[in-house]
Chains A and B, each alone.
Chain A
Amino acid sequence: MKRVALAILMVAALLAACGPASPPVPAKSTPQIEPPVPPTATPQPLMITVFAAASLTEAFTEIGKDFEAVHPGVTVTFNFASSGSLRTQLEQGAVADVFASANQTEMDTLITDNLAEANSTQIFLNNSLLVILPASNPANIQTLQDLARPGIKLVLGDTTVPAGKYARQILANLDKDPAFTSDFSTQVLANVVSNETNVKQVVAKTQLGEADAGIVYVSDAVAAPELKAIEFPTIDNVIAKYPISVLKSAPQPDLAADFIAYVLSPDGQAILKKWGFIPVAP
C-alpha cells in the first residue's frame, strides 16, 4: 500500500516537475522530405506556446512531441491548467500561440475580449465524464446510486473548472432519470469534501486513496488505468466539446495554425482517441 502511494507520488511529482514546460526534444537529424515550415529564410530555432486544459496533459504532450518530430527546429511549450486559469492568464497579458479549452465559455470570453480569432476557432474533440474510484475502493462503491450514501468522500472540480461544471450538470440530469431519486444530486453534492482547482487534482486525490470517488473525464481514467471506473448512462452524460484557436497575440501565427491542423489531422486525432477522447473527424 505504502509503496503504491509512494510510487504514485513520485510519478505525480515528476509530472508536476515537467508538466508546464515539456522538455525540449532535440530536432531529429534524419533527412526530411517535407520542407520545413518556418517562413523565415534561415532555419531559426522556433518555439510555440500552447495553453491547454489540464485534461489534455498526456495527449497534448504526445502530440507536441510528434509535431516537433515533423517540424525540425520547432519546440512546443505547454502550459496546462484549468481552462479558467489559462483564460485569466491570457487576459492579463500572457503571450501564447494556441489556446485549447475544455469548454466553449472560456473561448467565447477570449473572443469577446478580442484575444482569440473567432474564425480560426474549431471544435477538435469531444469528451465525456465518468466516476473514478481508488483501486482499493475504500467506500465499497458499486453503483452510481452508492454516491448518495452519507459519509462518502467525493471530490469534484471546482464550479469554476469545466470538469466541475460538467459533473454538476450530469448529476442534475440524473435527478430526472427514473433510476435515481429526484434529490439524488443534492445528496451527492452533500458528500463533496473538496472542490479541486483542476481536474488532475481530482485524479491525484483519488489515486492517493484520500477521496472515495471523483468525477473526471473519460480521458483522465485512461491516463490512470489503475483506478476503478463507473460510467454514467449515455443519455445523462455530458459531451464536452473542446475548442481550439490561434490567439491574436501569437508570435508564431502560422506555426500555431500548423499545430491546430496537426491536432485535427488523422495522426493527431488518433493520439487523442488513444487517450480516451472522442475524435471529431469521422
Chain B
Amino acid sequence: MSLLNRFGRWLSTDRRPGWVFILPSLVLLVLLGLPIFAVFWKSVNAYFFTYALAPTALSALRLSLLTSSLSTLLAVAAGMPLAYILARWKFHGKTVLELLVDLPVVLPPSVAGLALLIAFGRQGVFGRWLVPLGISLPFTTAAVIMAQTFVAAPLFVRSAKIGFVEIDPQLEEAAIVEGASELQLFRSIMLPLAWRSLLTGIVLTWTRALGEFGATILFAGNLEGRTQTMPLAIYLGLEHSLGVALALSVMLVMVSVVLLGVLRKLEKKKYD
C-alpha cells in the first residue's frame, strides 16, 4: 500500500530520481521471479499429480526427507557443542578452526564431492583404512548424508555460535558464581536463551541439505531409492521426463518457501 502511495507520489510530483532505484531493481526482480513463475506455469497442469506421484518422484522425495533430516540431526548433535566451544572458549588455533567450519559455505559443492571421494572413497586417503572393516562409503545412503552434512552443517554452527555469543556474559558469570557446572550453564542458561538462533540454524541447514546436488552426485552416485535424492532426480528428469523434473522442482520451491516463512518469523521475533 505504502509502496503504491510512494509510486503515485513519484508520478504526480516531479521526483524522477526515484526511477534510478526502481529500474535496476526491476532487472534483478525479473531475473529472480520469472524462472520461478515459469516452473509453476509449466508444471501446474492436469498431469501434475501423475508426475508428482510417479515412483521415481516418490522414492526421491522419501530419500531426500530421510537424508536431510538425518544430516540435520548430525549437524545439531555435533555442531551445537562445537558452536559452544567457538563462542565461549579461548584457545590457540581457534581462527583456523573457524576458517575450517566456514569453508564449506563458500566452497563449490563439486569441490566438496571430489574432496569427500578422495578422502573417504574406497581408494581414498582415509577410506582405504575402512576397507578391512568391510566398510565402503561411496554409492551408499551414508555417503549422501555425509555430503549433505559437509555442505550444510557449517550453516548451523555459524547460526548457533551467534546465538551463544549474543548471551549477556553477566548471566554466565552469575551462574558460575552460584556454582553451576559448565554443563548446567549450557543446559539451563545458554540453550533456553539461544533457542531462536539454534532453530534458525536448523532451518537453514535442513534447506541446504535438501537442495544438495553437486557433492552428492560425485560422492554418492545416482541410484534410485539409495542415493537418488530430489535434486538428482530433477537433473536426470531433464533427460527423460521433464514432467517429473518440473513436479519435483515445484515441490522443492514450495518446501523452501514454507521454510523461509518460518525463518522470517524467527528473525522478526528476535529483533522486535
Q: Which of B226-266 contact A (CB under 8 A)?
A: 227, 235-236, 238-240, 242
Q: How far is the CB of B264 from chain A (nearest CB, A)?
A: 33
User: Which stretch of B28-36, B99-107, B159-167, B217-225 is in the interface?
Assistant: B217-225
Q: Which of B145-178 contact A (CB under 8 A)?
A: none
Which residues of A line the B interface, CB within 8 A?
Answer: 1-2, 5-6, 9, 13, 82, 84-85, 87-88, 134, 136, 138, 153, 155, 158-161, 192-197, 205, 208-210
A196 near B222: Cβ-Cβ < 8 Å: yes
Residues from chain A with a CB closer than 8 A to the CB of B217 are 197
B227 — nearest CB in chain A belongs to which residue? Answer: A194
Rounded to whole angstroms, the CA-CA distance of A36 and B217 in the bound complex is: 45
Query: B63 at interface (Cβ–Cβ under 8 A)?
Result: no
User: Which stretch of B47-55, B78-86, B116-124, B201-209 is in the interface?
Assistant: B116-124
Most buried by A among B128, B138, B227, B239: B239
Residues from chain A with a CB closer than 8 A to the CB of B222 are 158, 194-197
Query: B125 at interface (Cβ–Cβ under 8 A)?
Result: yes
A88 near B122: Cβ-Cβ < 8 Å: no
Q: How far is the CB of B222 from chain A (nearest CB, A)?
A: 5
Q: List 5 additional A-B contacts (Cβ < 8 Å) besides A5-B118, A209-B122.
A: A1-B128, A160-B240, A194-B227, A195-B221, A210-B139
Rounded to whole angstroms, the CA-CA distance of A161 and B125 in the bound complex is: 31
Rounded to whole angstroms, the CA-CA distance of A135 and B227 in the bound complex is: 26
Residues from chain B with a CB closer than 8 A to the CB of A195 are 221-224
A193 near B118: Cβ-Cβ < 8 Å: no
Closest 4 pairs (CB-CB, A-B):
A194-B221, A84-B239, A209-B123, A193-B139
A85 — nearest CB in chain B belongs to which residue? Answer: B239
Query: How many B residues face the partner with a CB closer than 8 A?
Result: 25
Query: B136 at interface (Cβ–Cβ under 8 A)?
Result: yes
Partner of B121, one of A155, A194, A210: A210
Contacts known (A9-B114, A194-B139, A209-B123); A161 close to B223, Cβ less than 8 A:
no
Most buried by A among B123, B222, B242: B123
Q: How far is the CB of B21 from chain A (nearest CB, A)?
A: 32
Rounded to whole angstroms, the CA-CA distance of A13 and B115 in the bound complex is: 12
A195 — nearest CB in chain B belongs to which residue? Answer: B222
Rounded to whole angstroms, the CA-CA distance of A13 and B235 in the bound complex is: 21
Contacts known (A5-B123, A194-B227, A205-B221); A210 close to B117, Cβ less than 8 A:
yes
Q: How far is the CB of B115 from chain A (nearest CB, A)?
A: 10
Rounded to whole angstroms, the CA-CA distance of A5 and B217 in the bound complex is: 19
Rounded to whole angstroms, the CA-CA distance of A158 and B223 in the bound complex is: 9
B123 near A1: Cβ-Cβ < 8 Å: yes
Partner of B238, one of A6, A88, A209: A88
Partner of A85, one of B136, B221, B238: B238
Rounded to whole angstroms, the CA-CA distance of A196 and B223 in the bound complex is: 8
Rounded to whole angstroms, the CA-CA distance of A174 and B222 in the bound complex is: 25
Residues from chain A with a CB closer than 8 A to the CB of B123 are 1, 5, 134, 136, 138, 208-210
B125 near A2: Cβ-Cβ < 8 Å: yes
Q: Which of B126-145 contact A (CB under 8 A)?
A: 128, 136, 138-139
A84 — nearest CB in chain B belongs to which residue? Answer: B239
Residues from chain A with a CB closer than 8 A to the CB of B114 are 9, 13
Most buried by B among A5, A87, A158: A158
Rounded to whole angstroms, the CA-CA distance of A161 and B236 in the bound complex is: 9
A207 — nearest CB in chain B belongs to which residue? Answer: B123
Rounded to whole angstroms, the CA-CA distance of A159 and B124 in the bound complex is: 28
B114 — nearest CB in chain A belongs to which residue? Answer: A9
